[in-house]
Structure 1
Amino acid sequence: MSAPTTVSQPATRSADLLVEGRAGTPGLRTVPVPGDKSITHRALLASLLPGAGPRLHIRGGNPGGAVRALLPALAALGYGVETTAGALTIHRGRLPVPQPIRPHPGVAHWPDLPYLYTEGSSAAARLLVGVLAGAGPAAIVDGDDVLRDRPMDWLVAPLAALGAHIDYLGAHGRLPVAVHGPVLHGGEVTLAVGSAQARAAVLLAAVAAELPLTVHVPVFSRDHTERMLTAFGSRLERTALAVHYRGGRCTVPAELEVPADPSLAAYPVAAQLLGGAGAVRVPDVCLNPTRLGFFATLRAAGADIAYVDERRSALGEPVGTIVARGGLTGVERLTVDDPATLHAAIDEVPLLVALAAALPGESWLGCAGELRFKETDRLRTSTAMAAAFGADVAVVHDGIRVRGGRPLRAGTVPGFEDHRVAMAAATLAGALPGRTTVLGGACHRTSFPGFAAALRAAGAVVTEDGS
């Protein structure tokens, strides 16, 4: 039985996407995607570390809304931000730009501190808290109503254990927070979850404070922070379930280049597999193993996906071209049943659900409890999205079961103002006859402003709001 589609839509709505499916396009197509969102956030925040110079130039950064949400916060801390085509330049030492304060309802005392508003970007908020708790000035970190409902105790509790003074100004464990004082000592902390943002925030605090630290984790997720800090000269070691930072100052280069985002490369690859004709290549993609769970799951199921032209970037990231050929013929089901694979595919689970709906067998995407704390509860919103196409899909404990083989149909599909869910819906719609309306689908601009063009390259007809 299909999952119910009773998940509430948010009060604010992006424009809808109208997608008309077409047959796959023959031949080899090259589809570039933007820079990696996670690495861009970390590169921007490197400008706040003690080892940064007066100017940091970042090429190839992600241009989406989640990254742009960090720029006013940098300005409020006194950093000048220049944006040009394909580049961001951060200057230290400009005058702070006053930010409008949006007090949280019910907060009796709002401290007179710089106000850093990060819209809906959890990465911007969490990593900012970490850097501020390391060496930054006292400040308030806040976000929109959706971000104010996402957990922050994952990182605030270990930072407080290291002596940081962080106050919740509203509900306990939620934004807004006031970071009053830095960490006072190194030591050891144990994180309750495998969240890469929580681990990165704590590590950035230690590096900013130049204090030794060991971080124990239940499972390793994306390790961009460790690779970046190692490339900057930090003394980091990784053991089975821990990261050890030996202390001391790192040196941030004046020039950084961000590789393309594997989570965004997943969409043209999925469109290729659903369409079936020809092949697609996505160049200059970050091939960090902690980010390749989507591709690994499909390769294990029999999809023809290869990595070519591999090399290593100055940020310590493996980089190469992803090539996908043919379609889903011979692929019966998709299976994710271990935490490491799930974390390596955590942003692509909605897309895996969409692909699984097009397969004949029964798929299982498990170990996914953390998806309840993303921009939406992605266990519920992913199943509701797939069910709107006619899929037999359900949330079972901490995972999603998809029973394939049912006919899928175009129609009206919820996007939930969640860019991952909306892009997954539009990608599946591009392989179905007829017109699909993805409600609020233009929220893809959060991470992938060129998403519609990528779908058109696969043969779909995509318009916004009927225009």
Structure 2
Amino acid sequence: MPEVQSFAMPMTESADLVVDGGRTTRSGAAHEVVVPGDKSVSHRALLAALLPGAPATLTVRGANAGGAVRALLPAMRALGLGVRAEGDALVVRQPVTPQPQHVRPHPDIDAWPEDVPYLHTEGSSAAARLLIGVLAGTGTHAVVDGDEVLRHRPMDWLVDPLTELGADITYLGEPGRLPVRTAGPVDRPGTVDLRVGSAQARSAVVLAAVAAGLPVTVRHPVRSRDHTERMLAAFGKLLTGTEREVVCGDGGYTVPEAIDIPADPSLAAYPVAAHLLWSDGGVLRIPRVCLNPTRLGFFDVLRAAGADITYEDRRTTAGGEPVGTVVARGGLDGVTSVRVDSPALLHALIDEVPLLAVVAATLPGDSWIGCAEELRFKETDRLATTARMTEAFGATVDVADDGLLVRGGSALGAGLVPGFEDHRIAMAAATLAMALPGRTTVAGGACHRTSFPDFADVQRAVGARICEDSNR
């Protein structure tokens, strides 16, 4: 098995999650739970406040309150916007007199630019990448940085096409990595080809083109989440294209004064998986979930394998996102092994790969999750860490260059399981532990707050016995 990259294994700082297997509610019970707003849509909605012509006050209702979204807020304040929470909404106000923060010195870099805003995005790749795109579109001078883990994640995926379009972006440390300085705007209309299917890379270039008012065509190798295009189209921006191409046309747009965020399907996957893993009947309903087809891969794969998952109460929001109620019935009895062998399908469940792997470990036969090279550049090398986490339960997982072969039929058991300070790994481990007899401790599992602050509460509402333990 390939070694986990050194940068991907920070010292455990979060509290552990302790899970006692078994469901607390009666067999066949009906449940309804609510999950937080979509993280990806929340980032994009907040960044709409940085687009030219944004309203004086933008209210983002139902935004995800996790650490990845909150990482964007100090950066926005450093750019001169006022951001505060009002109930379940984030309210962004402008103009506010900018108060640029001087760049902090770093021992590895000799010369830092002065008198420009310093935008630290913690460990959020979405915040950093999308922010770079908007800044490149508006020509804003700033430094974008992140924590030591984020500093090792690729930024050339988006910086290269942005510089092709004329943007002035300079690496201040290691080439292809944060920190970067943005100085001059994109100013060349044209066509760019992305090397990867990353939705963050594509969104960064699209946001730059729209902010600059340039006609730009962005070609990409695989269909992936399209929240940026849906949001901009809902604003009235002319966007056309195909599954492999986005064309940003002429014409303006209007950023509304309020944007509603649907519930996150990647977060809904955890209570659905817990419900199915218990296999004790009953019905689980999760309302207001984003049913964007580029995000439903986890559910689609399990549906194809025989799981009873349906969508009800469908409608489309003013922001262009389809939403509805996800309904899971019964369990995994009769469900077969799963297979992910197309890039588009992988991207539709890219955040749920660790969760799909632990579910696959309980199914008969061998399951394959492929086309997943990009997972090596997440918060951890998620191919390696997913395998190690799943193996800690007793499963057999083979790691390939581009995927995971999960061999079903192994006897799984509770115990001490690594969370790798990766929220997706930790939540997947805790979810499997709910269905296994005995007590499981997920080391550092409270890192779930990065994307799902209410993870333990939601799983308890479904019937889990889970708590935090900071005593080591």
Range into which the TM-score falls when normalised by the shorter chain: over 0.9
CA offset digits 1:320-339 (Å, max 9, x no partner): 00000111001120110000
For the Cα contact (< 8 Å) 1:24–1:275, is it kept in 2?
no
What does residue 269 of structure 1 align with? 272
Q: Distance in 2 between matches of 1:146 and 1:110?
A: 20
**In the alignment, what sits opposite 1:89?**
91
Matched, 1:73 2:83: no
User: Once superposed, what is the RMSD of the aligned Cα atoms?
Assistant: 1.4
Pick from 290, 295, 305 the counterpart of residue 294 of structure 2.
290
Distance 1:362 1:238 in 2: 38
Q: Which amino acid aligns with 2:421?
A: E
1:135 corresponds to: 138
Q: What is the number of equivalent residue pairs in this alignment?
A: 465
Q: Deviations over 1:36-81 (max 9, x none)?
A: 0000000000001013111101101000000000000000000001
**Counterpart Cα distance in 2 of 1:195 and 1:345:** 13
Q: Shift of the alpha carbon at 1:466? A: 6.3
The correspondence of residues 431-450 of structure 1 with structure 2, limited to 5 A, is: 431-450=435-454
Identify the residue that residue 415 of structure 1 maps to in structure 2.
419
Q: Percent identity?
A: 65
SS of 1:375 mapped into structure 2: coil
User: Shift of residue 407 of structure 1?
Assistant: 0.8
Which residue identity lines up with residue 312 of structure 1 in the other structure?
T
Task: Identify the match of residue 175 of structure 2 among 169, 172, 180.
Answer: 172
Q: CA deviation at 1:107?
A: 1.2
Distance 1:440-1:7 versus aligned 2 partners, 3 A rule = farther
Cα drift, residue 100 of structure 1 = 6.6
Where 1:167 maps in the other structure, the secondary structure is strand
Q: Partners of 1:34 and 1:316 in 2: how far apart?
A: 19
Hey, what does 1:19 align to over in structure 2? Answer: 19
Deviations 1:72-102 (A, max 9, x none): 0000000001112210000011123454744
Q: What's 2:54 paired with?
A: 52
Quote the Cα distance in structure 2 between the aligned partners of 1:465 and 1:98: 40
In the alignment, which residue of structure 2 is the partner of 1:207?
Answer: 210
Q: Trace 1:265-414 onto structure 2 (pairs within 5 A).
A: 265-277=268-280, 278-414=282-418
Name 1:117's counterpart in structure 2. Answer: 120
- 1:10 matched to 2:10? The reply is yes
CA distance in 2 between partners of 1:409 and 1:200 (Å): 42
Partner of 2:229: 226
Tell me the SS of whatever aligns to 2:246: strand
Cα offset for 1:136? 4.5
Deviation digits for residues 128-161 of structure 1 (CA, Å, limit 9, x no counterpart): 0000000142000000000000000000000000
Whole-angstrom distance in 2 between the partners of 1:442 and 1:191: 35
Give distance in 1, aligned partners of 2:421 and 2:370: 24
CA distance in structure 1 between the aligned counterparts of 2:401 and 2:198, rounded to whole angstroms: 20
The answer to whether the 8 A contact 1:104-1:170 is kept is no
- Cα displacement string for residues 196-227 of structure 1 (whole angstroms, at most 9, x for unaligned residues): 00000000000000000000000010000000
3-state DSSP of counterpart to 1:67: helix
Specify whether residues 145 and 104 from structure 1 end up closer, same or farther in structure 2 by C-alpha distance, changes over 3 A only: same
Contact 2:2 2:384 in 1 (8 A): no
Deviates more, 1:338-347 or 1:243-252: 243-252
Residue identity opposite 1:179 in structure 2: T
TM-score normalised over the length of structure 1: 0.97
Helix, strand or coil for the counterpart of 1:47? helix
Q: TM-score, normalised by structure 2?
A: 0.96
1:149 aligns with: 152
Aligned residues of 2:272 and 2:284 also touching (Cα < 8 A):
yes
CA contact (8 A) 1:40 1:61 kept: yes
Residue 466 and residue 176 in structure 1: after superposition, are their counterparts in 2 closer, same or farther (change >3 A)?
closer
**Structure 1 residue 104: Cα displacement:** 3.6
3-state SS in 1 of match to 2:169:
strand
CA distance in 1, matches of 2:197, 2:311: 27
Describe the shift of the 1:244–1:421 C-alpha distance in structure 2 as closer, same or farther (beyond 3 A): same
Q: Quick one: which amino acid aligns to residue 264 of structure 1?
A: L
Q: Which moved more, 1:398-407 or 1:89-98?
A: 89-98
Distance 1:433 1:335, change over 3 A: same
Equivalent position SS for 1:371: helix
Distance 1:146 1:193 in 2: 20
C-alpha contact 1:4 1:384 (8 A) present in aligned 2: no
**2:198 counterpart of 1:181:** no
Cα distance in 2, alignment partners of residues 29 and 124 from structure 1: 34
> Contact between 1:294 and 1:345, CA under 8 Å: does it hold in 2?
yes
Question: Structure 1 185/4 Cα, relative in aligned 2: closer, same or farther at 3 Å?
Answer: closer
Partners of 1:78 and 1:95 within 8 A in 2: yes
Match for residue 106 of structure 1?
108
Per-residue CA deviation, residues 415-464 of structure 1 (Å, 9 max, x unaligned), is 01110010000000011111100011000000101100122123221111
Q: Deviations over 1:2-44 (max 9, x none)?
A: x699776412421100011113743110010000000000000
Question: Which runs of 5 or more residues in structure 2 are unaligned?
Answer: none
Distance of 1:357 and 1:196 partners within structure 2: 29
Which position in structure 2 is the counterpart of 1:35?
37
Residue type of the partner of 2:224?
S
Structure 1 distance, partners of 2:332, 2:102, is 50
SS of the equivalent of 2:50 reads coil
Instruction: Say if 2:219 is the partner of 1:216.
Output: yes
1:10 counterpart letter in structure 2: P
Describe the superposition over 1:335-390 as per-residue Cα deviations: whole angstroms up to 9, x where unpaired: 10000000000000000001011112110000000000111110000000000000
* CA displacement at 1:394 relative to structure 2: 1.5
